Structure 1
Amino acid sequence: MKSSAKNINLTSVDDLFSTEESRADANREKIVEIPLTELFPFKDHPFKVVDNEAMQDTAESIKEYGVLVPAIARPRDEGGYELVAGHRRKRACELAELETMPVIVRNLDDDAATIIMVDSNLQRETLLPSERAFAFKMKLEAIKRQGARTDLTSTQVGQKSKLSVEMVAEQAGSSRNQVQRYIRLTELIPELLDMVDDKKIAFNPAVELSYLKKEEQADLLEAMDMEQATPSLSQAQRLKKFSAVGKCTPEVMCAIMSEEKKGELDKVTLTGDKLRKYFPKSYTPQKMEETIIKLLEGWQKKRQQQQER
């Protein structure tokens, strides 16, 4: 039986190449101008967007030069786009009274989007301890979930064989121990974590306090307020030990917080406001210090002479 060539439809050369080009174009990332009203923040975004002086500077730069680095976003099932990177740029665009901003749209799963979101912000020079803490935690959890997947290549599986926390530390230019200590801060109640951000509680004592139960942390806030003091490292370590054995009561907290810190017993603080009225306006702080030292040396010599009589 003879086959009929008339029934065979061949694709033309033009159609073949146009199809390949359109497929490549569909897969190629594009920069798209998207209305700001269609851009929504990343879920549980840990980085604060503040209208401070730096934000105003960014807004002024965008007014003059536009957005130089496009944001990254992914489509939302409910419509619009979820920002992955570019939350501060979006706010600056709002302040600059723009209606759209350039965005690279990518189809990303939750874990890949989380990792990009964290990495794009960890590069900033000024990060609050709370921002770094929650960023490390989110990235660590995302990497752990990726490690449990079965759709990874052999190369990816080899990468996942390294401890997830070590990967986070290495990519952040930090140590495994430091990353773990930052993540501990996420166990603090918001009021205590705010005090860490405001530098009212130092980082090392804060890590120790994170081991206290939530109700104990709330009691500690009251004890700190009553005694008008914040825990030193040694005090925080003792509070942690009392908590471990179930004896971190409000009475114990007040007793510890009422202690005079060793450093405060030998410390004398003289502010510029107190000293300025004794010196000419032209005196620099260094000149003021030199004069004070000379006066003290003279006073000490005079006392010695009086004692020798």
Structure 2
Amino acid sequence: MAKNDVRNSIKLTSVDELFTTEENRADNQREKVVDIPLLEISDFPSHPFKVKADEAMLEMADSVTQYGVLVPGLVRPKVDGGYEMVAGHRRKKASELAGKETMPCIIRELDDDAATIIMVDSNLQRESILPSEKAFAYRMKLEAMKRQGQRTDLTSRPVVEKSVSADILGENTGESGRQIQRYIRLTGLIPSILQMVDDNQIAFRPAVELSYLSENEQQDLYNTIQSEDCTPSLSQAQRIKKFSQEGRLNIDVIYTILTEEKPNQKEKFHIQRERVDRFFPKNFTEKQKEELVIQLLESWYKKRQWEQQER
């Protein structure tokens, strides 16, 4: 081998490496908080948690304006450049509303499954979580656990049978494996019915039963709910599911079941939706509308009582 080749093959230690300490080398390995431009951070794919510019978000934006982001987000590098948000989507939205150009983040190398589990776990700590958010979050985490090699004995009958993996997931969420399986069933609902579950118009357990219907059957059900202004009880949902499994469900059967008088059912007081909707803010849920109507009626009733006493 020529002298030049031998010389070139020898790797010399740099001056910086000679005088660096073990503490400095360890410090270089530690994760650091870095201010990253918001334009370089994309959302996590299929992020199941909704980030809305609601009152709580506006309050968070005010806090960011005054104090900045106090808890750094967590991102992972993307192959094609930039970063992908793992934990901190709400902080990112608040930073945008506050007019910030950057956000403090920790950069961490994560594979898809590890990132999914961290994303779900970090968001499940929130106080208010919609049923649809839990449904898709639990499904994503359970699928990630399966790819990581853990047992995921998902079955087609989660209300009855037990899943070991769902029990493991439940240990960190405070819910039973059976309840987690019920939530995952909600991902089988069409968006319009799932929205009714989020709005408390359809109860959780009936919604689980309705998730077994085909997409077309669910659409017929939704149309009937809207036209008749009624929602199924648990027993009605179970009967609708049974008719579906037997191949005998059609829109006439759905109508018959939904419009039958329920046990101990009192006569309903109906007001056409188009007559009152114009009085409410567009973002009001059905529950908020109901509460406002009750408040106004109570005020009206108290006023009448006072007027009668004055006579």
Decide: shared fold, TM above 0.5.
yes
Matching residue of 2:254: 253
C-alpha separation between the residues in 2 aligned to 1:254 and 1:225?
11
| Residue 98 to residue 274, structure 1, CA distance change in 2 (3 Å) | closer
Q: Does 1:238 align with 2:226?
A: no
What is the rounded CA distance, in whole Å, between the counterparts of 1:167 and 1:85 in structure 2? Answer: 22
The offset of 1:225, in angstroms, is 2.1
For structure 1, list consecutive stretches of 5 or more residues without a partner in the other structure: 1-6, 150-161, 284-309
- Aligned CA RMSD, in angstroms, stands at 2.9
Match of 2:273 in 1: none
Check if 1:217 corresponds to 2:225. no
Q: Which residue pairs with 1:279 in the alignment?
A: 302
CA distance change for structure 1 residues 13 and 40 in 2, over 3 Å: closer, same or farther?
A: closer
| Structure 1 residue 173: Cα displacement | 1.2
1:57 aligned onto 2:59: yes
**In the TM superposition, what whole-angstrom CA distance separates every residue of 1:222-273 from its partner, at most 9, and x where no partner exists?**
2212222111111101101111111111110010111123343278999454
- The counterpart of 1:134, out of the listed 136, 146, 152, is 136
1:13 offset after TM fit, Å? 9.1
Q: Distance in 1 between matches of 2:250 and 2:11?
A: 86
SS state at 1:103 partner: strand
In structure 1, how many angstroms separate the alpha carbons of the residues matched to 2:20 and 2:167? 47
Checking the alignment, whether the CA contact within 8 Å between 2:189 and 2:210 is kept in structure 1 is yes
Match for residue 183 of structure 1? Answer: 184
Contact map agreement 2:150 2:165 (CA 8 A) in 1: no
The CA deviation string for residues 26-47 of structure 1, in whole angstroms up to 9 with x for no partner, is 4210100000000100000000
Deviations 1:102-131 (A, max 9, x none): 000000000000000000000001011000
State the shift of 1:11 in Å: 5.5
The 5-angstrom pairing of residues 88-127 of structure 1 reads 88-127=90-129
Farther off after superposition, 15-24 or 72-81: 15-24
What is aligned with 2:26?
A: 24
Give unmatched runs, 5+ long, in structure 2. Answer: 1-6, 152-162, 271-292, 307-311
User: TM-score under structure 1 normalisation?
Assistant: 0.79
Instruction: Give the structure-2-normalised TM-score.
Output: 0.78
AA in 2 matched with 1:176: G
Structure 1 residues 171-180 or 273-282, which shifts more?
273-282
Residue 82 of structure 2 corresponds to 80
Alignment partners' CA distance in 2, 1:97 and 1:49: 17
User: After TM superposition, where is structure 1 displaced by more than 6 Å over at least 4 residues in a row?
Assistant: 7-10, 266-270
CA gap of 1:31–1:257, structure 2 versus 1, over 3 A, is: same
* Displacement of 1:88: 0.4
The residue matched to 1:101 in structure 2 has which SS? strand
Greater Rg by CA: 1
* Amino acid corresponding to residue 108 of structure 1 in structure 2: L
Greater mean alpha carbon deviation, residues 263-272 or residues 22-31? 263-272
Give the Cα separation in 2 of the matches to 1:237 and 1:9. Answer: 74
